[in-house]
Structure 1
Amino acid sequence: MTTQVEAELTAFTAATQELQFRIEQFYYYEAELLDEWKYHAWYDLFSTDSHYRLPVRRNRLRRQRFADEAAARGIEMAHFDADMKTLKLYVNQRESGSNWAEDPPSRTRHLITNVRIRSSADEAGSYDVRSNFLVYRNRLEAEVDLWAGERYDRLRPTDDGSFQIADRVVLLDQNVVLSKNLSVFF
């Protein structure tokens, strides 16, 4: 193995099995809340200073590929770029009954995989977590959408042994969103 690969594996395998289990269970609970339309409870999983971003992806040459991921942190253009106040507006809209894009509500299934954890270099006591997702949505009778991608989260432990999402960047594996709307959370 090369030194770079060894360093990456060491950083991601530093999490104990118990921590891995707890974080995965946290993500499964989050997915359940979204699939059951419990948006206010989902919103409560975020810290008060959190940021939720879904940048627009670009097609890049092979040698420029990682510039896309790096640029996601400083977002030039985004489908979502929400602080907690803005995210609360989205959540309130979803639960108001006046969100025409979600009436009747979509049926969704959030699948979370490949959870990789490392201690945050930027915030002591927190974890930088990378995970993959697949979100299936069925609307009305025959409309089906699939989104795949990855999430970069900063998780903070809470006093009750759970976590709060302090930051989330979602990268879709497509640069053009083909669905009629983007009324789901990832």
Structure 2
Amino acid sequence: MKNISIFCGSSSGNEGVFVDQAAQLGHEIAERGYGLVYGGARVGLMGAVAGGALSNGGKVIGVIPDFLKKKELELKDVSEMHVVDTMHERKALMNELSDGVIALPGGYGTLEELFEMLTWAQLALHKKPVGLLNVEGYYDALIEMSSKMIDKGFLKEEYRELLIVDDDIDLLLNKMEDYIPPANDKWFETK
């Protein structure tokens, strides 16, 4: 991997551990020599993960829609800043610039970004590792929902492995580095 995209909240959440883990993740990404691609904002977990990477001399690439830049949410001290027109263009460019994806805690936008990356992996549109940093069990219910989708026949068991989950930053990054994408040329039923 050369660059890792981070999807996360533009809010900080109501527990300090979320900001701490975001900053630590950014720091560790830089420590391992990866570039960080993120949503370009200076606020919330986005600002924390970028700050963590920058504090460790890392390369940070922001991708921000123009309407958010106009609201002065842009972090000015990044290595590169790409300004796009729409949220969809933001996500597409972040995907293009990265070799792996990690989701931190966040809201609807973070979930939407995570699920699109997982869907693209399921459809073999990319073969990148997709990680989930499960800070303080934040995503436990989502992981449980994945099991229910498998149990009810809406998700194949082999696609469970498309989502790499850990609550430890080093272990998550190690798993992503060792990731081997599934051979999923036929993702649909042929009955």
TM-score computed with the length of structure 1 as normaliser: 0.23
RCO higher in 1 or 2 (8 Å CA, sep ≥ 6)?
1
Q: Which has the higher strand share?
A: 1
TM-score computed with the length of structure 2 as normaliser: 0.22
Q: Which has the higher helix share?
A: 2
